[in-house]
């Protein structure tokens, strides 16, 4: 039995030894096979307390794993989206006026932009600032819901690498037909198309022939009803000048093309033209998510610290409650190192169980979040291995002082105090 004095093997009769020598006393040993039963003795006798103590570590580790997992999953989804949409799309515009209307570019802007080396595709669009789109002719003018009307041609869908969710896209026809951006369709309550699906634009009915899927790099298109250039000129008084041009470039020449946009789009006033890259907004989201992840990671660290303090407090109380056990084991031959090892093992087991539980909870939360958002599950290995390692370190830190305190108790003091 652990902590019991052991004698030399023999007959067991001290007088049988030569010269009547006393039996040899062996040094007390704590066998590896006894370490787990002894180290879990306090946990098995006080199970509810053990569970509550491990819960603090579990919450801290779960928070850290979930933060790292959710952040990595969302970042992976954004990066995949960037790879799919490309970072070689530029938007050329002259900004907005004080009345929040888009300022027109010269009529020659689109042809001039097409001549820039490195340009693959160009799609001019024009916001018709004088009209809005409504579900029917009974809605008061001015209640626009932030929706706009834009003129474009068939090059828009190809340049933005967009797709039609239902119906078809525009042609060069002068007919009063429209294609709705995804947000416009949602706001107007149009989720499917029939022969009678119409919207009220500029004092006349336009038949809806298509609904677009969302365009992450062109949110203004999502909030617009699109009509053809010929229809805009014929029915809405459009003058032919674009207000926003989308440019798809050679991926290796994005910077060069961007630098040439202003002087080509508006040679008379190049400083009024701004060429931006919509994908930069998605890249900014990555930076924001990383900053937010660091904040929540810090909160998880605080929860882990609280859990560590909780385990340390429980272990100190356990030492005080088990003074008689400590005194008895010391009397039977257990050394200070055995007592310290026992309580340190108990703390390590408590924190390790909490760490494993926290990893399982964190992975579960990450999987649920990824599933709800349509992301792929991506948990960095450092979150799993590091989480368990941090839990073990927390167990060592929490159990070190109680273990040393227990080992310093003398057998007589421990037994006398208990009695």
Question: What contacts 215, CB < 8 A, 6 or more positions away?
Answer: 160, 162, 181, 182, 221, 222
Please tell me the pTM assigned to this model.
0.58
* Structure tokens, 79: 């990066």
Q: Are the CB atoms for 225 and 199 separated by under 8 Å?
A: yes
How do the pLDDT tens digits run along the chain, 419 residues long?
344 334 333 444 444 445 555 555 455 665 555 566 665 666 676 777 778 778 888 888 888 888 888 877 877 776 666 666 667 888 888 866 655 678 889 999 999 999 999 999 999 999 998 888 998 888 887 777 778 999 999 999 989 888 999 999 998 889 999 999 999 999 999 988 888 899 999 889 999 999 999 888 888 999 999 999 999 999 998 988 999 999 998 888 888 888 888 899 888 888 888 887 775 655 555 555 555 556 666 766 777 787 778 777 777 777 776 777 777 777 766 677 777 777 788 888 888 888 898 889 989 988 998 888 887 888 888 888 888 888 888 888 887 777 777 777 666 665 565 54
How many Å apart are CA 53 and CA 58, to the nearest integer? 9
**Closest C-alpha to 289, from 112, 77, 127, 138:** 77
**Closest C-alpha to 368, from 65, 15, 13:** 65
DSSP 250-279: -GGGHHHHHHHHHHHH-TT-GGG-EEE-TH
How many Å apart are CA 243 and CA 245, to the nearest integer? 7
> How many C-beta atoms surround the C-beta of residue 151 within 10 A?
25
């Amino acid at each position: 039995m652990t902590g019991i004095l052991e004698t030399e093997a023999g007959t067991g009769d001290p007088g049988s030894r030569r010269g009547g020598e006393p039996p040899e006393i062996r040094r007390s040993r704590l066998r590896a096979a006894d370490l787990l039963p002894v180290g879990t003795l306090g946990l098995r006798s006080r199970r509810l307390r053990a569970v509550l103590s491990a819960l603090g570590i579990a919450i801290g580790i779960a928070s850290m794993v979930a933060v790292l997992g959710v952040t990595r999953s969302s970042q992976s989804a954004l990066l995949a989206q960037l790879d799919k949409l490309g970072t070689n799309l530029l938007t050329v515009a002259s900004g907005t006026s004080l009345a929040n209307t888009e300022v027109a570019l010269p009529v020659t802007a689109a042809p001039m932009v097409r001549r820039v080396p490195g340009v693959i595709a160009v799609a001019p669009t024009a916001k018709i600032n004088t009209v809005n789109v409504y579900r029917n002719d009974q809605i008061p003018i001015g209640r626009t819901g932030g929706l706009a009307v834009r003129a474009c041609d068939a090059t828009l869908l190809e340049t933005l690498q967009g797709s039609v969710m239902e119906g078809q896209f525009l042609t060069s026809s002068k007919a009063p037909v429209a294609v709705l951006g995804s947000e416009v369709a949602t706001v107007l309550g149009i989720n499917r198309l029939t022969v009678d699906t119409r919207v009220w634009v500029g004092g006349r009915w336009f038949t809806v022939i298509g609904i677009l899927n969302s365009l992450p790099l062109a949110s203004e298109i999502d909030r617009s009803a699109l009509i053809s250039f010929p229809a805009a000129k014929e029915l809405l008084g459009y003058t032919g000048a674009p207000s926003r041009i989308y440019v798809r470039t050679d991926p290796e020449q994005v910077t060069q093309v961007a630098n040439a946009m202003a002087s080509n789009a508006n040679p008379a006033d190049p400083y009024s033209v701004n060429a931006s890259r919509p994908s930069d907004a998605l890249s900014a989201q990555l930076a924001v998510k990383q900053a937010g992840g660091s904040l929540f990671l810090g909160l998880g660290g605080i929860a882990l610290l609280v859990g560590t303090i909780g385990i340390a407090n429980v272990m100190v109380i356990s030492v005080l409650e088990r003074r008689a056990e400590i005194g008895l084991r010391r009397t039977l031959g257990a050394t200070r190192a055995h007592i310290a090892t026992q309580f340190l093992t108990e703390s390590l087991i408590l924190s390790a169980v909490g760490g494993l539980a926290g990893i399982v909870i964190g992975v579960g939360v990450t999987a649920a979040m990824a599933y709800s958002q349509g992301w792929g599950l991506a948990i960095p290995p450092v979150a799993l291995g590091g989480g368990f390692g941090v839990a073990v370190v927390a167990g060592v830190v929490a159990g070190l002082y109680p273990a040393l305190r227990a080992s310093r108790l003398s057998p007589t003091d421990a037994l006398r105090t208990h009695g």
